[in-house]
A and B are shown apart, each in its own frame.
Chain A
Amino acid sequence: MGDIPSRSIVIASGKGGTGKTTVAVSLALTAPGPIRFLDCDVEEPNAHLFLKPKIDRSTLVTVPVPVIDAGRCRSCGHCASICRFSGIVMLAGKPQVFPELCKGCGGCSWACPEGAIREADRAVGVVEEGLAGRIEFVAGKINVAETSSPRVIRAVRRSPSGRPWTLIDAPPGTACPMMAAVHGADLVLLVTEPTPFGLNDLKLAVSSLSHLGLQFGVVINRFEGEDCRIHDYCEKGNIRIFAEIPEDRKVAEVYSRGDNIVDTLPVVRDIFIALWGEIQEAMNRSDGLRMDGRSCSS
């Protein structure tokens, strides 16, 4: 395990609901070889609804939080004064721990001159692993009312892969959870739709990925052939468009039932097989992510 270098493709988007999970799952089901699938949308993971894996292992994701030994504590307040997150606060002259605010940096136990602080693991989420047919499946899930999504995402990303391809379903947006999901990826596919919201959020995602120096391209979902704003933007920015998935109420209905569009709609299956071709070709070329001159079909 972990010996074969795995190439990672992250399916991301600035805007939510553009079809990340649909694209990621469809790629998983049309893959040219064995793959590992990581669901990093840990706040709202959905890929399991479509891939229906058999989960056989689950591991807690934890934060080490301080536990104060009241017998040893002399209420000097060093722990509270080092904590920048109000994870320990002095109340009525005694240190009080607020575990949900603790980020687990370990500063308080270092600062305590009495050795009165030990750390205990506090669960904030879980990583589940199993098989979905031939697909190695891993999904992270953050506990309700917890805030440390990036920690859970990093735990999912750390699971070693023995498969030549790793597909990663990312959370929406451009904030720290998305950053954690795309970290170190070989290729990021940004799923967008030809609307003002789609374009605006695509621009934000492109600026974040450029900032990180990652390779990326675009998949246009719900393409209607009349709105060319994404094509125009990509052409100007020299961003490669990897695929277009046409707007079709049938696609929306198949998805709504939890069925897989590549199993139900042969035309859509062909789009994903072609997309794999584009991905492999792009990754085998040093200048792989140049525009290939795909023009708007209107």
Chain B
Amino acid sequence: MRELVVLSGKGGTGKTSLTASFAFLSGRAVMADTDVDGSNLPLLFDVSVRRRESFYSGEIACVTDDLCVGCGRCESVCRFGAVHREGDRPRPKYKVDPLACEGCGFCYEVCPSKAVKLQERLTGEWFEFETRAGPLVHARLAPSGENSGKLVGLVKREARRIAKERNLDLVLVDGPPGIGCPVIASLGGVSGALFVAEPTVSGLHDFERAANLTAHFGIGSMICVNRWDLNPSLTERLEERARSLDVHPVGRVRYDRSVTQAQREGRSVVERESPAAADIRNLWKNLEL
């Protein structure tokens, strides 16, 4: 089984539009949308839900007022500023801010009256969808916004399971923007990465940081320049820089309003002929998947 992650560093360069097109062109892929705090891949398909589940990971502290003796040790050991005193001595109460709590459990360990409890943290929900381009695993991070990397890992595991069960030999991972925790999680076990970059000074800068990340993990990478004709000379520079970082240029997609039009119509770009669709077909051939 092969697994390709589509990445960009910079957001909004066209990862999702390309991933959907690849799934359509492949016809034998499972899609994994790992942009768990801004998942858009399902919007390009009429999805039907096969499965929907909650996902818990990590813990979160909570103080039980009845048991609390008001000593304040929890507040004093917390380095994340997550425990706050409410009310005054001799019997203050302590509250944990769920957004600041890292779930380290230090407060739980030091509490002399067992008033601090650790509860499982709801990380988010995940879904298994059926689409006209194949199965799609999607997730939605809970409002606390924590542990996105764990949710990304889960989405990928489920996508691989489905691929195995249905004898599909390709997993297409729509990656998150940036180079942080969810991106690192999206790289686990992939056979290769495709960068979608745009020919802008920001695009060049962000691509370089993202390429350093894949190099750090020893992942073979390719690059495609999207909307390349917005700045042909910068496109040349991007591809040149890519080669020097051992990232192989595999295609260019021109600036074409039909890409946004496809999004508005809820379909992938390649489902209707257009200049960009032709470019994406060429790109897909060059990927040799």
Binding site for B on A (CB under 8 A): 14-18, 21, 43-44, 46, 49, 82, 84-85, 103-107, 110-111, 142, 144-149, 171-179, 195-197, 200-201, 204, 207-208, 211-212, 227, 249, 252-253, 255-258
Query: Nearest-CB distance from B37 to chain A (Å)?
Result: 4
- Asked if A175 and B201 make an inter-chain contact with CB atoms under 8 angstroms apart, the answer reads no
Q: A149-B180, A173-B177, A175-B36 provided; 16 other pairs, C-beta below 8 A?
A: A14-B37, A44-B206, A84-B104, A107-B109, A145-B216, A147-B181, A172-B11, A173-B38, A174-B141, A176-B146, A179-B145, A197-B16, A197-B263, A249-B230, A256-B230, A258-B201
> In the docked arrangement, what's the CA distance between A211 and B145, Å?
11
The tally of residues in B whose CB lies under 8 Å from a CB in A reads 65
Contact of B179 among A103, A142, A255 (CB under 8 A): A142
The reply to whether the CB of B67 lies closer than 8 angstroms to some CB of chain A is no
Query: What CA separation (Å) do A172 and B145 show in the bound complex?
Result: 12
B10 at the interface (CB under 8 A from A): yes
Q: Roughly how many angstroms separate A232 CA and B202 CA in the complex, as a whole number? A: 32
Whether the Cβ atoms of A14 and B10 lie closer than 8 Å is no
Let me know if A174 and B105 touch, CB within 8 A. Answer: no
Given known contacts A44-B10, A106-B77, A111 and B109 CB-to-CB distance under 8 angstroms: yes
Whether the Cβ atoms of A15 and B178 lie closer than 8 Å is: no
**Count of A-B contacts judged by CB separation below 8 Å:** 180
- Find out whether the CB atom of A256 lies under 8 angstroms from the CB atom of B199: yes
State the B residues within 8 Å of A (CB). 8-13, 16, 35-38, 40, 43, 58-59, 77, 79-80, 99, 102-106, 109-110, 141, 143-146, 148-149, 176-184, 198-203, 205-206, 209-210, 212-213, 216-217, 227, 230-231, 234, 255, 260, 263-264, 266
Query: What CA separation (Å) do A18 and B206 show in the bound complex?
Result: 15
Q: Are B179 and A144 in contact (CB under 8 A)?
A: yes
Query: Are A44 and B9 in contact, with the CB atoms below 8 A?
Result: yes
CA separation between A204 and B212, bound complex, in Å?
30
Question: Bound state CA distance, A167 and B110, in angstroms?
Answer: 40
Looking at the complex, which one of B38, B106, B177, B260 makes contact with A107 (CB distance below 8 Å)?
B106
B37, B103, B255 — most chain A CB neighbours (10 Å): B37
Report yes or no: A82 in contact with B105, Cβ–Cβ below 8 A. Answer: yes
Which residues of A sit under 8 angstroms from B10, Cβ to Cβ?
16-17, 44, 46
Measured CA separation A269–B134 after assembly (Å): 46
Q: A17 and B13: CB pair below 8 A?
A: yes
Decide: A110 near B106, CB < 8 A? Known: A174-B145, A196-B40, A227-B264: yes
Q: How far is the CB of B223 from chain A (nearest CB, A)?
A: 16
A178 to B145, CA, bound (A): 9
- Is there an interface contact between A147 and B149, defined as CB atoms closer than 8 Å? yes
Q: Which residues of chain B are within 8 angstroms of A177 by Cβ–Cβ distance?
A: 178, 180
Smallest CB separation, B252 vs chain A (Å):
15
The complex places the Cα of A174 from the Cα of B151 at a distance, in Å, of 14
Known: A110-B106, A145-B184, A196-B264. A173 touches B179 (CB 8 A): no
The smallest beta-carbon distance between B187 and chain A, in angstroms, is 10
Q: Complex: how many Å from CA A204 to CA B177?
A: 16
Closest B residue to A199 by beta carbon equals B43
